Structure 1
Amino acid sequence: MNVGLGLPIGDPGKLRSWARRAEDGPFTTLALLDRLVYDNPEPLVTLAAIAGATSRIRVMTEVLIVPVRQTAVLAKEAATLDRVSGGRFTLGIGTGVREDDFQAAQAEYRGRGRRLDEQMTAMRRVWSGEPYSEDIGPIGPAPARPGGPEVLFGGFVPATADRVARWGDGFLGATFSPEEMGRFFRGVERAWQAAGRPGSPRLVAQANAALGPEPVVDEARRAVRAYYGFADYTDNVVNGMLTTPEAVRQAVTAFGDVGADEVMLYCWSTDVDQVDRIACTLP
């Protein structure tokens, strides 16, 4: 089972230390969340720095709010990050759910799913080396991975499975129990097969985790509560955080049992020693 880490957003200056510590361990991926109207580092910029501080571990957005971004610029940024990281970049993307992010970006909130569909068509064209439009030529550089970086779609609605099947390489699910995750995974697989895609989609599950003394766990719970404070399921997310080695082991096993190819353990406390504590829980 592949296991990655979601990086904490509370102290961006520590993230290269997190990255080097994680690369020395059993972890496969490092990820960063995306918000605009929030006190988090911009993920593409930060992941470029992390890719430069590492050589093996993958870097991923978890997930990038694509409809608030200009399509051609994002296509170029993603291809560049894939190229400079040596093909270690995964573009996890979604539509976004907070209206203030769209207001700040002067982007339309309504119709964001349709806009994402249009953006994916354009970005796949850019990454394949085709002209951007009839009047605009190709946009480089070419990504390291032919056809563009790996793309995972995150979301909570059936349309997400259809997007995976049309443009993506896989699905990333968060805040679901293993049983719920399994149902989403099966829906993605059915959409993939119905679209006639060869092989199978990559399936990634995310769970929140905090291992350490009480102040570390308390910091993580405060951070999760602040981030999800807009939602009516905030308490469930906070209470569902994995805070013991046994809980981490059980979750990784359970997600693997329903078909996850990778489990991302999102860390909300800035204590870098969590990297070693989590590593010790893994086989």
Structure 2
Amino acid sequence: MKIGLGLPIDDPALLLTWARRADAGPFSTLGLLDRLVFHNPEPLVTLAALAGATARIRVQTEVLIAPVHNTALLAKQTATLDRMSGGRFTLGIGVGGREDDCLAAGIDIRRRGRRLDEQMALLRRTWAGERYDESVGPIGPAPLTPGGPEVLFGGFTPAAIERVGRFGDGFLGAALPPQYLSGLFRDVEKVWEKYDCPGRPRLVAQVSVALGPRHTVDRARRNLLDYYEFSGRAAYMAEGLLTTPGQIRAAVADLAGIGADEVVLYCWAPDPDQVERLAEAVF
């Protein structure tokens, strides 16, 4: 099973250091979250820089809130990133849930699911080299990956699961214990069969971690509380932070047991020494 790293967001200047150290180690993926009304770096711009600073590790949005993005520009950006990274880009995608993000982007939060469905049809058509729509021609460049970059859907609703079969390559499940995430994984597999998709869906799990001295763990917990404040579940999310090698190894084993192809260890503190600590703990 592959192990990725989710990148901290509170000190973007350190992310090149994180990326180079992870690329030199055993990790498979660098993930980066997306929000509009927050202090996180813009993910596609940041991942492009990280792809240029690395040689083998994949880069992944985790997840991009597609409805707040312009669809034509998003098609061009993602194809460009896939091409310039040598096909190392995965588009983790979802609808988001923050009203202020939607207000800032000028979209109706009540239509974000329908908007994502419309966007995915346009993205797939554009990546295939077809006309963007009846009045607009093709938008290049062509992605390096045939048909476009790998797409993983994140979310917890039946609509999110359904999109995996309709548009995607797999599913990204975050912040759920294995016993609940297992049910979502099995639902994804059923939808995959329903749409007669080839092969099997890629199943990715995410857990929150902080490994290091007390100040690293405390900062990670504060960042978790800050990020999830809007949700009403901030305390629950902070309680789920894994802070010892034993906890992290056990979580990885449990997620492997429910069929995860990859586990992304999401790091909430900017201390880059965690790269080597996590490698030693997990590998």
Tell me, yes or no, whether TM beats 0.5.
Answer: yes
Hey, what's the Cα distance between the residues in 2 that align with 1:209 and 1:282?
A: 12
Cα offset for 1:282?
Answer: 1.6
Gaps of 5+ in 2: none
What is the one-letter code of the residue matched to 1:46?
Answer: T
Cα offset for 1:107?
Answer: 1.3
**Runs ≥4 in structure 1, deviation > 2 angstroms?**
none
TM-score scaled to structure 2, two decimals?
0.99
Cα offset for 1:185?
Answer: 0.2
Q: What residue is the counterpart of 1:243 in the other structure?
A: 243
1:11-30 equivalence runs, <5 A: 11-30=11-30
Q: What residue is the counterpart of 1:147 in the other structure?
A: 147
Cα offset for 1:63?
Answer: 0.3
Gaps of 5+ in 1: none
1:190-201 equivalence runs, <5 A: 190-201=190-201
Hey, what's the Cα distance between the residues in 2 that align with 1:135 and 1:92?
A: 29
What is the one-letter code of the residue matched to 1:181?
Answer: L
Aligned length: 283
1:180-219 equivalence runs, <5 A: 180-219=180-219
TM-score scaled to structure 1, two decimals?
0.99
Q: What residue is the counterpart of 2:118 in the other structure?
A: 118
Q: Deviations over 1:23-52 (max 9, x none)?
A: 111100001100000001000000000000
Hey, what's the Cα distance between the residues in 1 that align with 2:106 and 2:235?
A: 31
Cα offset for 1:15?
Answer: 0.3
Hey, what's the Cα distance between the residues in 2 that align with 1:60 and 1:240?
A: 23
Hey, what's the Cα distance between the residues in 2 that align with 1:158 and 1:256?
A: 23
Hey, what's the Cα distance between the residues in 1 that align with 2:219 and 2:71?
A: 36
Q: Deviations over 1:3-29 (max 9, x none)?
A: 000000011001000000001111000
Q: Deviations over 1:116-168 (max 9, x none)?
A: 00000001000000011122111100001000000000001011111000000
Cα offset for 1:232?
Answer: 2.3
User: Among the aligned pairs, what percent are the same residue?
Assistant: 61
Q: What residue is the counterpart of 1:271 in the other structure?
A: 271
Report the RMSD for the aligned CA atoms in angstroms.
Answer: 0.6
3-state secondary structure, aligned to 2:41: coil
Q: What residue is the counterpart of 1:223 in the other structure?
A: 223
Q: What residue is the counterpart of 2:127 in the other structure?
A: 127
Q: What residue is the counterpart of 2:6 in the other structure?
A: 6
Q: What residue is the counterpart of 2:170 in the other structure?
A: 170
Hey, what's the Cα distance between the residues in 1 that align with 2:252 and 2:26?
A: 14
Hey, what's the Cα distance between the residues in 1 that align with 2:136 and 2:175?
A: 41
Hey, what's the Cα distance between the residues in 2 that align with 1:134 and 1:32?
A: 34
Hey, what's the Cα distance between the residues in 2 that align with 1:69 and 1:23?
A: 29
Q: What residue is the counterpart of 2:89 in the other structure?
A: 89
Q: What residue is the counterpart of 1:42 in the other structure?
A: 42
